[in-house]
Amino acid sequence: MPCTALMMGSSQSGLMGRSRNYNTKEDNLSFQMKLKITITGPKVHDVGYRPWLTEKAVDLALRGFEVYNDAEGDLQSVVALVDSDKRRATQFFEFAKAELPPLARIDDIRSEPYDEEIQPLWQSATLGTFVQINKAVPILQEMREDLREVKTNTNLIPEIAENTRLIPEIAENTRLIPEIAENTRLIPEIAENTRPIPEIAEKQDVIIDEIRGLHREMTFDAGWRARIESDIQAIKAKIGIR
């Protein structure tokens, strides 16, 4: 990822908001400077880049800070204006090169001197907070409607609990299903055996008459047999046979 290096030092007065002579390393780190940092890429808008950079500016306690979305041709860009001492400005730029929001996709980060006025950090942070809240309002309203639907659905939980209370009883009853299945296996055989019943019912009068005839014949045969046995005994007696 190409980045334009920061050119800082006592000879680079163009990076300074104001210039003066310094004799120590500490002095070189404390002079005020203004930078314009531009971040470009296919996805740097609507990924939280501005709050991300503002939070770092607050963390570093920059004196002045602004951040806004822009574009360079077909690429999106985020521009950060920094007004601070050299040490903090450098730290902010190094952070911007090393860190980015999780959803962002960048191609380039560069810095350049900036000579115009930059608004105070507190003012920029306040405005940024207002913008983010304004963007969040529709989302919060949609979430409120979703929560209402969730509440309506959760009102059904007691009914579900009551219904699930019957599950053990259902399980106990379904335990008998294999036995019932085994018994119902005999139903076709029973149906086959009971199929003649209507025909029998239709012929029951004929069957009854036949049974009565057999009974009479059996009764007649018994009487006739007794008479024959009596005659045989009489014949035996006459001829002296015992």
pLDDT at position 190, please? Answer: 79
pLDDT at position 20, please? Answer: 37
Q: Which of 9-18, 72-81, 226-235 has the lowest mean pLDDT?
A: 9-18
- Measure CA 172 to chain center: 33
Other beta carbons within 10 angstroms of residue 30's beta carbon come to: 13
pLDDT at position 144, please? Answer: 78
pLDDT at position 2, please? Answer: 42
- Alpha-helical runs (H) found in the chain: 25-30, 49-60, 86-98, 121-154, 157-164, 167-174, 177-184, 187-194, 197-202, 204-239
State both tokens at 46: 């609507």
State both tokens at 190: 């029973």
Q: Which of 90-104, 154-168, 182-196, 199-213 has the lowest mean pLDDT?
A: 199-213
For 186-197, what is the mean pLDDT? 79
Q: What is this structure's pTM?
A: 0.49
pLDDT at position 5, please? Answer: 36
Confidence of residue 70 (pLDDT cuts 50, 70, 90): very high
Cα torsion angle, 148, 150, 154, 156, sign: positive
pLDDT at position 221, please? Answer: 65
Three-state secondary-structure class, residue 43: strand
pLDDT at position 8, please? Answer: 35
Confidence of residue 241 (pLDDT cuts 50, 70, 90): low
For 193-213, what is the mean pLDDT? 75
Of the two residues 147 and 40, the one the predictor is more confident about is 40
State both tokens at 31: 């002079």
pLDDT of 233 higher than 60: yes
Select from 3.10.450.50, 3.30.70.100, 3.10.560.10, 1.10.10.10 the CATH code of 13-132: 3.30.70.100
pLDDT at position 236, please? Answer: 66
Q: What is the DSSP string of 133-182?
A: HHHHHHHHHHHHHHHHHHHHHHTTHHHHHHHHTTHHHHHHHHTTHHHHHH
For 35-47, what is the mean pLDDT? 96
- State the average pLDDT for the chain: 79
For 21-35, what is the mean pLDDT? 62
Domain ranges of the chain: 13-132
